[in-house]
Structure 1
Amino acid sequence: MTDQALTATTAQQRRFLWPLMATLLIIGWSSGFVGIRYASEEASVVLVLFWRTLLSGLILLPFALTIGPRMQWKAVAGQMWFGVMSVFLYLGGFALAIEQRVPTGLVALISDLLPLAIATLSQPVLGERLSGRQWLGTAIAVAGVLIVSLDSLSFGSAPLWAYGLTVGSMLIFALASVLHKRRRVGHMPVHQSLCIHTLTGSVLFGICALMQGDIAPPMTQNFAIGMVWLVLIATFAAYSVYYTSLRLFPVAKVSAAIYLSPPVTMLWAWALFSEPLTLAMFVGLGVTLVGVFMTSRG
């Protein structure tokens, strides 16, 4: 078989793989709300993030050490920087903003604009140019996110720097995503890189938790449920699928699927916590679906 035929076969396989990867990514990304909802009833957000990252890293550590290529210090150090950006600064920035009384709805909205930042960065950093149709799809998807978030949106009375922190955290993760995509050599298997990312985050979150007081976990059922959810779904499923997708598909296409996380989060809240569904949520979901479809077809 010629190289050209192999390339065509691989492209066709990826075309059929994408709907499955996108579905898993949306489910995993939106499920973080559920784990945080359970666990944060019993502990501060920083303590929740510490135990989430520590447990994730410790579970992955035996597999990272025994399965895959032997990890070299240079590669580990590089992945630690990605851990600082995509775990500690991204999740920690939003946690600090919420503690500074930035309304949760506003934090969620800024977080959900991540694909827009990635699409903007993908051209100068990666050379991945979006077509006019894809930019139109991006605008439609953003409009859908705004419709979904409108009911819960308020501006609060937090200090000005805290609002800037939410935007900065989102931009840092966007930058980490495109830089991760740009790496042509030195790629680790996902379970090894994710292990390094989470353990790096756990050290930094642990320091922050110690500054606030005790780091012992609350021995309650809700905290345990929250940790299981955050580790297995919001970390292992979401991050693993995200990083794998970045290696297989254009970064703007992967990130566009995240636009669907706000309406799916609303469905989680309705199913598990009996939170009401509104007409605006369904309208926003429909608009977002149209935008994601247009962006993903480029």
Structure 2
Amino acid sequence: MNKKILTSFLVPAVFVFLWATGFIGARYGLPYMEPMTFLAIRMALAAVILLIVALISKAPWPPTPMAALHVTISGLLVHGGYLGGVWAAIAIGMPAGMVSLIVGMQPILTSVAAFFVLKERLNVRQWLGLLIGLIGLFLVLAHRVSANDLTPLSALFSCIGLLSISAGTVYQKKFFASVDIRTGGVLQYCTSGLLFWSLALAFEQRTVVWNPPLVFAMAWSVLALSVGAVALLYKLIRDGEASRVSSLLYLVPPVTALIAFLCFDERLTFFAMIGMTLVALGVALVILKFQFRR
């Protein structure tokens, strides 16, 4: 029973909290380092940490070249496409609220993809939950979104992030089940790091202004997000249905808004609080199994 409670509630709760703090890296890192440079260094540090952990724990490596290829492709989607798209959109001026709204379509997109690729089937209650969650997400972010903030390039970057995390979640579920998370993470972060460094060499000056806020942003991004949150995400994907796991991401913007309200004194509107309630209800309808007795 304790293990069931841990898997069903504690692990998802910790994952959502850590994932919701992703704005910390952008908030404290982007003023002092360009996005692709930041992400390249972040990937390199995460790869080194996981390599040390894998060697000490003698974790098994992917058994075949094809398994390693699947791991690499999954990493390029989940890390390269998703993080690269989101950070690029924010870096060129798109507000985080608008990015969150676009990427917030991920649970529905993933559920549709999982239906065709993984043969996962959602019932009417679960589809209703996805719709309610999407409405709640819009209410949470409505005061932070304006059509004037949307440009073709920023929309393209955001959509790249949306498509990448959706495809990566399904791909991870289908092909990453037998690979150790530690060694698989090393391969994913190495390849994603090379991608980001190539983009940094091509499009950025790679200027870095080291200071305490940047060090904190990098440390948090590496340890809490790339090591902690991603490991929990992969565990959730491995243990559950992709559509149910992706619905948890509906909770990220509300939790982010709550953290910003408590820590940075950002405004929390009445409609945002209603949206948070709807998001929680929607996610519950998707992931919880209700039993009705007559």
TM-score between the two structures when normalised by the length of structure 1: 0.89
Name 1:137's counterpart in structure 2.
129
Q: Does 1:198 align with 2:192?
A: no
Question: Per the alignment, do residues 286 and 22 of structure 1 end up closer, same or farther by CA in structure 2, a change over 3 Å counting?
Answer: same
Deviation of residue 156 (structure 1)?
2.9
Displacement of 1:174 after TM fit? 0.8
Q: Is residue 52 of structure 1 aligned with residue 42 of structure 2? A: yes
Q: 1:102, 1:162 within 8 Å by CA — same for their partners in 2?
A: yes
CA distance in 2, matches of 1:129, 1:14: 23
Deviation (angstroms), 1:184: 7.3
Shift of residue 213, structure 1, vs aligned partner: 4.3
Q: Report deviation, 1:165.
A: 3.4
CA 1:182–1:30 in 2, change beyond 3 Å: closer, same or farther?
same
Hey, what's the Cα distance between the residues in 1 that align with 2:14 and 2:246?
13
Residue by residue over 1:277-297, the C-alpha shift from the partner in whole angstroms, topping out at 9 and shown as x without a partner, is: 222221111111111111112
Contact 2:61 2:180 in 1 (8 A): no
Q: Is the 8 A contact 2:20 2:253 kept in 1?
A: yes
Query: Of the candidates 280, 286, 291, which is equivalent to residue 271 of structure 2?
Result: 280
Residue 5 of structure 1 is matched in structure 2 by none
Q: What's the offset of the Cα at 1:30?
A: 0.4
Counterpart secondary structure, 1:43: coil
Note if 1:18 corresponds to 2:8: yes
The structure 2 residue matched to 1:166, chosen from 150, 158, 182, is: 158
- For the residue of structure 2 that corresponds to 1:127, the secondary structure is coil
| Among candidates 73, 80, 83, match of residue 81 of structure 1 | 73
Query: Which range is displaced more, 143-152 or 87-96?
Result: 87-96
Q: Residue 61 of structure 2 contacts residue 179 of structure 2 at CA under 8 Å; is this kept in 1?
A: no
Name the amino acid aligned to 1:278: T
Q: Does the Cα contact within 8 Å between 2:46 and 2:222 map onto a contact in 1?
A: yes
Corresponding residue pairs, total = 287
Greater shift in the superposed pair: 22-31 or 190-199: 190-199
The match for 1:29 is: 19
String of CA shifts for 1:191-228, please: whole Å, max 9, x gaps: 21122211211111112222244446432000001011
Please name the residue that 2:170 is paired with: 178
Separation (CA, whole Å) in 2 of partners of 1:163 and 1:212 = 19
SS in 2 for 1:156: helix
> Following superposition, which runs of at least 4 residues in structure 1 exceed 6 angstroms of deviation?
none
The one of 244, 247, 250 equivalent to 2:235 is 244
Q: CA deviation at 1:243?
A: 0.5
How far apart, in 1, do the equivalents of 2:225 and 2:269 lie?
25
CA–CA separation in structure 2 for the residues paired with 1:42 and 1:31: 19
Contact 2:61 2:183 (C-alpha < 8 Å) held by counterparts: no
1:206–1:215 Cα contact (<8 Å) kept: no
- Corresponding residue number in structure 1 for 2:111: 119
Tell me, in whole angstroms, the C-alpha distance in 2 between the residues paired with 1:97 and 1:40: 12
SS of residue paired to 2:147: coil
Whole-Å separation in 1 of the counterparts to 2:211 and 2:184: 31
For structure 2, the 5+ residue unaligned runs are 290-294
Equivalent residues of 2:50, 2:227 under 8 A apart: no
Contact 2:16 2:249 in 1 (8 A): yes
Aligned counterparts of 2:206 and 2:55: Cα–Cα separation in 1: 27
Identity in percent:
26
Name stretches of at least 5 consecutive residues in structure 1 with no aligned partner.
Answer: 1-8
Letter of the aligned partner of 1:122 in structure 2? A
Question: Contact 1:56 / 1:235 at 8 angstroms: preserved in 2?
Answer: yes
Give the Cα–Cα distance (whole angstroms) in 1 for the partners of residues 247 and 273 of structure 2: 18
For the pair 1:109 / 2:101, whether they are aligned, the reply is yes
